[in-house]
Structure 1
Amino acid sequence: MARALITGITGQDGRYLAELLHSKGYEVFGLVKGQSNPRAELVQQELPFVEVVSADLQDLTSLISAVEQTQPDEVYNLAAISFVALSFKQAELTSNVTGLGVLRMLEAIRMAGGSTNNPIRFYQASSSEMFGKVRETPQRETTPFYPRSPYGVAKVFGHDITVNYRDSYHLYACSGILFNHESPRRGLEFVTRKITNAVARIKLGLQDTLALGDLEPRRDWGFAGDYVQAMWQMLQQDEPDDYVIATGRTHRVRDFVHAAFAHAGIEDWEKHVTQDPRFFRPAEVDLLVGDASKAHEKLGWKPEVEFAELVAMMVDHDLEVEARKAGRQ
């Protein structure tokens, strides 16, 4: 039985990936920070097949111990301080976890068994935010990086150190440059889930307005459940490499808002939406759209869930959740 260790097991990608690997017969271990992390209980309730392991991306010794304990065939590093807005307020923490955490995980693999004789395969969750102020459109694996946030800068370090360890120590190390991907499991702090949750609450009469920042940035949005399939496929190749994972289509934040309200049957969405300067970034990324041709050709991967279907899925989920909370189901 193959064994996989997932950092960031409590996030949307970690949970979808754990389900995918379990369906393929893997023994799945999930790294959780702290002995009394309340989200560990959520993982164990939702994913009872996952064995939780305590470790911290800020502590190399704990990571070495986790690798030695679990003896994984594959390590998926999904953990990060991943909320871009927060990275401006906590730049040092973001750099330490999202950037240096990758280095520590690679060191743990190298020291505990990532050699040719025991080749642990490593996946790094890189991000389209590395492209930032884009140099070319669409963005592909060879597009130069120009990050516009501490999060993006930290992700560039994580990406480049993964390439460095692959070249220097011959580790099997891949990076997936994933463009925005969403799901009903997305955290409420992220704009897409903030939108769908607010739409559900407005539909149910639980709130009146939704405050957002800039409505014009364009993003390449896909479904997280599709994107974790690409992560797994990367580690099944004969040689490690880096891949852009994207739909190749963009929509404005405004388009996402319109689609969410429309699916809930609410017309005149503008009267429910306000713009709040607090939600504008110090440096905005205006356009991100990926060229996933390499993933199509080498991995055979293509996204299955379309934009409208993704928005509908998230709104329906939040309608059910909020109705249940309000005692209407």
Structure 2
Amino acid sequence: MTVALVTGITGQDGTFLRQRLLREGVEVHGMVRPGDGLARDLSSAHPEVVLHEVDLSDGPALRGLICEVDPDEVYHLAGVSSVGFSWQEPVLTGLLSGLAAAEIFAAAWQLQEQRGRAVRVVQASSAEIFGQPRVSPQDEQTEIRPVSPYGAAKAYAHHMAHVYRGRGLHVAACILFNHESPLRPPSFVTRKITQAAARIARDGRGELVLGNLDARRDWGWAPDYVDAIVRAARHVVADDFVVATGRTHSVEDFVAAAFSRAGIDDWSAHVSTDPAFVRPVDATEQVGDAAKAHRELGWSPTVDFRTMVARMVDHDRQLLEGEA
């Protein structure tokens, strides 16, 4: 039986990945933060998932976990997930999203050397490593030039994946562009928008305050991106793979689609902007070229932008109906 270790198993991507691996009959181990309340819910719902409480900043504990689980596959998804938070805690972001990845790669390589068989690792990289790209769309050859602490930490982890790949570790780096689902926390602008649209549609009034409405992103459906991650782990050759839709939409487009799905024609009457929500430095237009993933992994997105937004709004409206 294949044994998989998933860091960040209680997050959006970790949840979809856990569901996928369990369906396949994989023995799933998950790394969670000490005291993570979501871990208790997961343990109750899926006792077959073996959870391990480990602090991502504890290097010896990470190495011990890899040794204890003895995995065939390692999916490293954990880390700081917010660009905004990374500006508040840049050093912590470097530790959790950069150095922790290096610890995991080193431990996986050492385990591989000891047992004489491959350990397959996937690093969840990010389009934020490109920062202010000089070319569009971005692919695996695009220059890495981050403009945020989050992007810099992810860039370090991305480079370390290359280093350990050079030592013979099967470590694939999936450069994930923005991907969403109803599992996104409200701290993310996309979920903030869909929750507000659902609430205003129910109440007939309300206000949504946002930052830069002109920022453009390449948004995809999270389960599609998890599929790419699994394909990359099991591909015959470890490599870098951009995972993206190849199409961009602005935050304003997202707002318009969400409010339209909620049945509100004039979204502008309910939306305002506040400079406090604008990042100190924001990446320019990010759009990915996933031709390599299409060609080598046989991967392609299955859910378009409007369907993704509609599913998120419908979910939030159902939650409000449940509360009522």
- Shorter-chain TM-score tier: over 0.9
| Match in the other structure for 1:27 | 27
Shift of 1:62: 1.1
Partner deviation per Cα, 1:125-170 (whole Å, 9 max, x = no partner)? 0000111101200000000012111000100000001101111x21
State the SS of the aligned residue for 2:121.
strand
- Shift in Å, 1:217: 0.9
SS in 2 for 1:156: helix
Give unmatched runs, 5+ long, in structure 1. Answer: none
CA gap 1:136/1:104 in 2 versus in 1, 3 angstroms:
same
**In the alignment, is the contact (CA less than 8 A) between 1:114 and 1:171 conserved in 2?**
no
51-60 or 24-33, larger mean C-alpha shift:
51-60
What residue is the counterpart of 1:160 in the other structure? 159
The residue aligned with 2:209 is 211
CA separation of 1:46 and 1:244: change in aligned 2, threshold 3 A: farther
Which segments of 5 or more consecutive residues in structure 2 lack a partner in the other structure? none
**Secondary structure class of the residue paired with 1:286:** coil
**Matching of residues 31-180 of structure 1 within 5 Å:** 31-34=31-34, 36-113=35-112, 117-167=116-166, 169-180=167-178
Question: What amino acid does structure 1 have at the position aligned with 2:214?
Answer: E
RMSD between aligned residues: 1.3
Shift of residue 67, structure 1, vs aligned partner: 1.4
Task: Give the alignment partner of residue 249 of structure 1, picking from 241, 247, 250.
Answer: 247
Contact 2:66 2:104 in 1 (8 A): no
CA contact (8 A) 2:205 2:270 kept: no
1: CA distance, partners of 2:254 / 2:56:
34
In 2, are the aligned partners of 1:182 and 1:223 still within 8 Å (CA)?
Answer: yes
Matched-pair contact (CA < 8 Å) for 2:147–2:282: yes
1:206 Cα offset (Å): 8.2
Q: Residue 203 of structure 2: SS of its match in structure 1?
A: coil
Query: What is the CA-CA distance between 1:112 and the residue it aligns to?
Result: 3.2
Q: Is the 8 A contact 1:77 1:102 kept in 2?
A: yes
Q: Match for residue 312 of structure 1?
A: 310
Cα offset for 1:81?
Answer: 0.5
How many angstroms apart in 1 are the aligned matches of 2:4 and 2:204?
Answer: 42
Which runs of structure 2 are paired with 1:176-255 in the superposition (5 Å)?
Answer: 176-205=174-203, 208-255=206-253
2:32–2:54: 8 Å Cα contact kept in structure 1? yes
User: What's the offset of the Cα at 1:47?
Assistant: 4.0
Q: How far is the alpha carbon of 1:43 from its aligned partner?
A: 2.2
TM-score, structure 2 normalization = 0.97
Determine helix, strand or coil for the equivalent of 1:249. coil
Alpha-carbon displacement from aligned partner over 1:260-308 (angstroms, at most 9, x marks no partner): 0000001110010010111000001120000000000000000001111
> Counterparts of 1:18 and 1:310 in 2: how far apart (Å)?
21
After the TM superposition, which parts of structure 1 deviate over 6 Å for at least 4 consecutive aligned residues?
none
Partner of 1:2: 2
Amino acid of the structure 2 residue aligned with 1:287? E
Secondary structure, in 3 states, of the residue corresponding to 2:124? strand
SS of the equivalent of 1:175 reads strand
CA distance in 2, matches of 1:181, 1:48: 28
Counting aligned pairs with the same residue, the percent is 45
- Alignment partner, residue 15 of structure 2: 15
Write out per-residue CA displacement over residues 158-215 of structure 1, whole angstroms, 9 at most, x where no aligned residue: 0001101111x21111100010000000111011011001111111118600010000
CA contact (8 A) 1:16 1:225 kept: yes
Cα displacement (A) at 1:219 = 0.5
**Alpha-carbon contact 1:226-1:303 (below 8 Å) kept:** yes
Counterpart code for 2:267: W
Q: Cα offset for 1:48?
A: 4.0
AA paired with 2:57? Q
CA contact (8 A) 1:218 1:286 kept: yes
Q: SS at the partner of 2:56?
A: coil
Contact 1:57 1:105 in 2 (8 A): no
Alignment partner, residue 298 of structure 2: 300
Distance 1:127 1:46, change over 3 A: farther
Change in 2 beyond 3 A, CA 1:48/1:135: farther
Using the alignment, how far apart are the partners of 2:290 and 2:45 within structure 1?
32
Structure 1 counterpart of 2:20, one-letter code: L
Q: 2:283 corresponds to which residue?
A: 285
